[in-house]
Amino acid sequence: MELATFNELTQEIISECFFMTESQQEEKVIQLIDLHHFIECFNQRLEILSYIHHSINIVKQNNTRVGILFYDLKHSALPDCNASEEFKKKHSLAALWFVFVEEGFTKETTCHTDCIIENSLDIFFDRIFLFNFFQSVIHSLK
């Protein structure tokens, strides 16, 4: 993402999310960075439709609306999967994707598959990915 684009989008978050705390705005900026880098690595033809008002980002892939939820296994509380399912219906999404975001390189996915099984993520999400942010590598886990 170019610096000018990043600055523009950050300003949009600050102005649109004035009701959020500084920490919440920072999380929103991180969500935006994850989304843009994921698109660069996965498919640059994904079109961003919405990212500001919810933790689930809405994108368009081949005229199909998809929700993408980013999750950091080390730093985030697991989202409410039932709320994600309701969000899918409310926003007429064809699919929901769950993306584990990792900063460091990892070959071991046991903790990710354990999380999927323990929380039945495969029931609520159509696709599940492991996204190594700094290596720019995406692995499909489902």
16: helix, strand or coil: helix
What is the tens place of the pLDDT at every residue in 58-97? Answer: 999 999 999 999 999 887 688 888 899 899 999 999 999 9
Measured between alpha carbons, how far is 136 from 69 in angstroms, rounded to an integer?
17
What is the tens place of the pLDDT at every residue in 44-62? Answer: 789 999 887 788 999 999 9
Measured between alpha carbons, how far is 123 from 117 in angstroms, rounded to an integer?
10
Q: Is the pTM of this model over 0.85?
A: yes
